[in-house]
């Protein structure tokens, strides 16, 4: 999947907002179902799952807020706009996953050390429905996040997947406890502990690209190659010396060093720079802005 999104930044953010709001509604319903079933069914793994879904609500709220701020236009305080707010939102969601994993693991250990009753069988039925709902939501949101090139939307998707993982672990743990009886009553707590490790790993995996964007790390080669190729196809461009690209939310700020005939009049060189910018902005819809620096083309002999 290429990182060169085919959507404009504004349409990409709008779609991301719609998905985040839909996720809010789903998570709010699942929190009520899981926590209630966990308390009534004597399953800490299910209660932990409900807590993780509560964090999903906050993560979706963060994504909504981040995408909303990212859509603001540049002003006197932020000359390059607010697009980085999406990367901040993505990093915040990732940190929330890691914090949730730590909290779940601590409580799981406490529950393992505290004798308790076997979970009720009906909790398995609840978990099957939860796993199906969250996995479908994960696939829908992740596909959209990849399509529009949004880190925040993809982070929100993986938060849904972490919820499905927690539910699957709880299902396995409760099944073992029901089959083994009182002797295996802590199996669902061990399942919650295992799930916390998977959640922490997902959090770290999401945090790294968000930090890369905040540090202005260069995007993948396919993005840079798309920019270079677009500029090189403009008539009178002799060589694309540099293509410096940094990501901001769902878009890119691009700086190009273009070489042209050294005898070209300044006015013509200025006009050529505008043509290059317009071409790149058209062929790379995710481009937020393009700055073109014109230089004389030098042959090997000269």
Task: Please spell the DSSP secondary structure of 128-177, one letter per residue.
Answer: HHHHHHHHHHHHHHHHHHHHHT-HHHHHHHHHHHHHHHHHHHHHHHHHHH
**CATH number belonging to domain 9-214:** 1.20.1510.10
Is the predicted pLDDT of residue 85 greater than 50, yes or no?
yes
How many Cβ atoms from other residues are within 10 Å of residue 296's Cβ? 13
| Averaged pLDDT of the chain | 83
For residue 238, pLDDT beyond 90: yes
> Which two three-digit tokens encode residue 133?
């709902």
Reference 87, options 254, 203, 218, 214; nearest CA is 214
Q: Which residue has the higher pLDDT, 83 or 242?
A: 242
Six token digits for residue 181: 């009886």
Could you give the angle at the alpha carbon of 78 between the alpha carbons of 72 and 79, nearest 5°? Answer: 100
Regarding predicted confidence, which is higher, 182 or 32? 32
Residue pair 194/101 in contact by the 8 Å Cβ criterion: no
pLDDT greater than 50 at residue 1:
no
Strand, coil or helix: what is 255?
strand
Q: What is the pLDDT of residues 7-35, one digit of tens each?
A: 566 676 677 777 778 878 888 888 888 88
- Supply the DSSP symbol for 289: E
Most confident of 11-25, 66-80, 155-169, 248-262: 248-262
Question: From the CB of residue 290, how many other CB atoms can be counted at a distance below 10 Å?
Answer: 23
**Residue 253 pairs with which residues in a beta bridge?**
246, 289
Whether the per-residue pLDDT at 68 is higher than 80: the answer is yes
Pick the residue with more confidence: 117 or 72? Answer: 72
d(CA 15, CA 58): 19
Residue extents of the structural domains in the chain: 9-214, 221-296
Angle between helices 151-180 and 9-40 (to 10 degrees): 20
Question: Cα(200)–Cα(206) distance, rounded to whole angstroms?
Answer: 10
Pairing, β 251-260 against β 239-248: antiparallel
Average pLDDT, integer, range 248-273: 92
pLDDT exceeds 80 at position 36: yes
CA distance 294 to 259: 6
Which of 24-28, 180-184, 281-285 comes out lowest in average pLDDT?
180-184
Looking at the domain 221-296, which fold is it?
Alpha-Beta Plaits (3.30.70)
């Amino acid at each position: 999947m290429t990182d060169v999104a085919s959507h404009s930044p504004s349409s990409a953010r709008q779609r991301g907002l719609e998905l985040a709001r839909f996720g809010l509604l789903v998570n709010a319903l699942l929190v009520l179902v899981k926590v209630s079933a966990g308390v009534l069914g004597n399953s800490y793994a299910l209660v932990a799952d409900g807590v993780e879904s509560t964090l999903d609500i906050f993560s979706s709220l963060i994504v909504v807020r981040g995408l909303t701020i990212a859509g603001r236009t540049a002003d006197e305080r932020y000359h390059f706009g607010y697009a980085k707010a999406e990367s901040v939102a993505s990093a915040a969601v990732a940190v929330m996953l890691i914090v949730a994993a730590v909290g779940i693991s601590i409580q799981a250990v406490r529950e393992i050390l505290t004798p308790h009753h076997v979970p009720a069988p009906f909790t398995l039925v609840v978990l099957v429905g939860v796993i199906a709902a969250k996995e479908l939501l994960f696939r829908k949101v992740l596909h959209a996040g990849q399509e529009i090139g949004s880190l925040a939307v993809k982070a929100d998707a993986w938060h849904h997947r972490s919820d499905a993982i927690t539910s699957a672990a709880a299902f396995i743990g409760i099944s073992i406890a029901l089959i083994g009886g009182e002797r295996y009553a802590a199996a669902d707590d061990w399942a919650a502990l295992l799930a916390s490790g998977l959640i922490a790993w997902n959090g770290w995996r999401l945090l790294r690209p968000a930090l890369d964007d905040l540090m202005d790390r260069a995007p993948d080669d396919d993005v840079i190659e798309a920019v270079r190729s677009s500029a090189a196809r403009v008539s009178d461009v002799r060589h694309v010396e540099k293509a410096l690209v940094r990501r901001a939310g769902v878009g890119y700020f691009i700086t190009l060093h273009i070489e042209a005939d050294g005898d070209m009049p300044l006015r013509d060189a200025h006009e050529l720079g505008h043509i290059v910018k317009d071409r790149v902005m058209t062929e790379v819809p995710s481009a937020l802005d393009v700055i073109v620096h014109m230089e004389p083309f030098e042959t090997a002999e000269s």
